Amino acid sequence: MPNIISIQHLKVRLMSTGGIVHAVRDINLEIKSGEIHGILGESGCGKTMTAKSILRLYDEEKLIYDGNIIFNGEKDILSMNKKELENLRSKEIGMIFQEPITTLNPLITIGNQLSEVLRIHLKMTKRDAKARTIELLKNMSVSPAEDRYNQYPFELSGELLQRVIMAMAIACNPKLIIADEPTINLGGSMQTQVLQMIQDLRCNENMAFMIITKYFDVINEVCDTVSIMYAGKIVESGSVREVLHSPKHPYTQELIEKSKIAENSDEKGVAKTDSIKPDSHKHIEGCPYALKCKYVRGECHSNLPDKIRVSKSHIYNCFK
């Protein structure tokens, strides 16, 4: 299958009051059409920064990009003008944000917000947009759809708002959907339903997904492939089975070990370690994990680790 997105040597640096923050440090990533790819890592590792960079959602007066983000084998997103970006965001790539209530306008009904997306980007008539909106709400189990159409965001539960955001993300039938912690505020049964919806959309519409998460369960449940991020870099990637059941990078091994130790705590299934994190304001010449790695040697601090290929899809960066 062709790549729907190809990230090549992406670096993202932010201007802050404390100096330059190295948020993403030279990553490479490919997602194929119809693939569900997970980005797994601890909070602050650069997952969301990577995802939002695909849509260029940050204030670019305070940000520097390097590298390329090639969409559908054709255009470099980092070179797109404003009009091209608007078209990309509305028709080609959808986004499911962490906090639905902050995404929706509290003063406009659910139905009008969804209908507006369809009228602006697909040039639908008011009647057709309303009919399509109700259909989308029904498909996302936002019931009764006709009543929900006229309600405001504050009148819906967090679970229903998450479904509305999903409906909005798929409204224009995009080729790729970026889902940032799509299950973070959901109960067990609702989480299962949302993940099933993602699988259904992949099967029925051939949509590709990039799922940003710190939860192992989400990766195991729906993802085909996974990338492990640490301190702004991808340290290991491959099929879910290869990476999570036969991890090679010392950081991936630590993540999995710590998640097993936390089986009976509130941190169960969460990607979290007690590793010393490198200073995000400093440029790193070698491996960012060298500060904690038990296999560390001199070259780890001064040189980029080798890319080791375990199989066709499974690779990791390490001198070990």
**Statement: residue 190 has pLDDT above 80:** no
What pLDDT was estimated at residue 144?
Answer: 92
Question: What pLDDT is recorded for position 257?
Answer: 87
**What integer pLDDT is reported at residue 204 of this predicted model?**
85
Closest residue by Cα to residue 129 from 111, 103, 109, 142? 111
DSSP letter, residue 193 = H
Query: pLDDT tier at 267 (50, 70, 90 boundaries)?
Result: low
Are 306 and 286 in contact by the 8 Å Cβ rule? The answer is no
The more confident residue out of 277 and 134 is 134
* 265, pLDDT greater than 60: no
Give residue 77's pLDDT. 96
Tell me: the pLDDT tens digits for 62-79? Answer: 899 999 999 998 899 999
The structural domains of the chain, ordered by start, are 3-107+152-317 (3.40.50.300)
Instruction: Please spell the DSSP secondary structure of 85-130, one letter per residue.
Output: HHHIIIIIEEEE-S-HHHHS-TTS-HHHHHHHHHHHHS---HHHHH
pTM (2 d.p.): 0.90
Residue 264 has pLDDT above 60, yes or no: no
Nearest to 256, CA basis, from 241, 315, 247, 275: 247
pLDDT (tens digit per residue) in 220-245:
999 999 999 999 999 999 999 999 99
Q: Is the pLDDT of residue 185 over 70?
A: no
β-pairing, 225-230 vs 233-239, is antiparallel
Please state which of the ranges 8-22, 226-240, 259-273 shows the lowest mean pLDDT: 259-273
* pLDDT value at 58 more than 70: yes
The rounded Cα 114 to chain-centroid distance in angstroms is 22
pLDDT, tens digit, for every residue of 130-168?
A: 999 999 999 888 889 999 999 999 999 888 888 898 899
In this structure, of 4-18, 84-98, 176-190, the range with the lowest mean pLDDT score is: 176-190
